[in-house]
Homo-oligomer: A and B are copies of this chain.
């Protein structure tokens, strides 16, 4: 199964989230089959990340958006966070502070985009400015409605400089979310995550779906596509996202750069050093 093609939203595609399944196991008969695919993908991703890091020509930006408890943190812990931390950073975007609010909404985001050779993972992103901001009426429609085009402009600036942009929406059902809230209640180590506001957000479930659908239609571009990933099953979510990241890195085909040193000279230096070592010991 080609997950990349299966779950990519085409430019201008009308999406109806309510009709996209959340609980599928795709082509996998057993959970262990999905886990094996993820494990293999992680190895590929690590190898290609290393090549990209050394090459220093391209970069990768991974945007994660999802309802609460849909698994952004788990995905980072189990899959994306397996990359070498020297070339990969995660950035959480919370409520903007006073300085950030005094700038345009993309200012703080731009600061965190990956430099050449690097990977950045956004835990929430500039898309909140057309999602929660819209649903909770934090700015007037006249403001947020212009942002879809501004986001496309911004992402074009990134892709023009060699950054691949992948945007994942982790798609869970309200039933699965409630189940996960229950797990938090049952586990004292997770009580710090509890928040009455989570239940309040559930009342806006449909409004968020409508807001996401407009995002997908307007901001899934050829160069910076959105993927809607069935996420009720964590192992399936991991298999799908890791497959898409691995495929993308393969397409980017980072190459170890040609050696710009004189190998013979280095070999000679090595032999000299080796000879000195022998003498002194």
A182 B261 Cβ-Cβ under 8 A: no
Which residue of B81, B90, B199, B267 contacts A273 across the interface (Cβ within 8 Å)? B199
Q: How far is the CB of A79 from chain B (nearest CB, A)?
A: 11
Question: Which of chain B's residues have a CB closer than 8 A to the CB of A270?
Answer: 178, 181-182, 185, 199
CB pair A257 B181 closer than 8 Å = no
Q: Flag if A178 contacts B274 (CB, 8 Å).
A: yes
What separation, in Å, do the CA atoms of A266 and B88 have in the docked complex?
36
B185–A266 CB distance below 8 A = yes
A261 CA to B188 CA, complexed, in Å = 13
Stretch of A6-14, A29-37, A149-157, A189-197 lying at the B interface: A189-197
A273–B181 Cα gap in the complex (Å)?
10
Contacts A182-B270, A256-B189 given; indicate if A194 touches B263 (C-beta within 8 A): yes
Known: A178-B273, A185-B267, A269-B196. A81 touches B86 (CB 8 A): yes
Given contacts A89-B89, A273-B202, A277-B178, contact A196 B265 (CB under 8 A): yes
Interface residues on A, range: 35 or more
With a 10 A CB-CB cut-off, give which of A89, A262, A272 has the most chain B CB atoms: A89
A6 to chain B, nearest CB (A): 27
CB distance from A34 to the nearest CB of B (A): 22
| Nearest-Cβ distance from residue A78 to partner chain B, whole angstroms | 10
- Give 14 A-B pairs besides A76-B84, A81-B84, A192-B257 with Cβ atoms closer than 8 angstroms: A77-B84, A81-B86, A85-B90, A86-B123, A174-B277, A178-B270, A178-B274, A185-B266, A192-B259, A194-B259, A194-B266, A196-B269, A199-B272, A199-B273
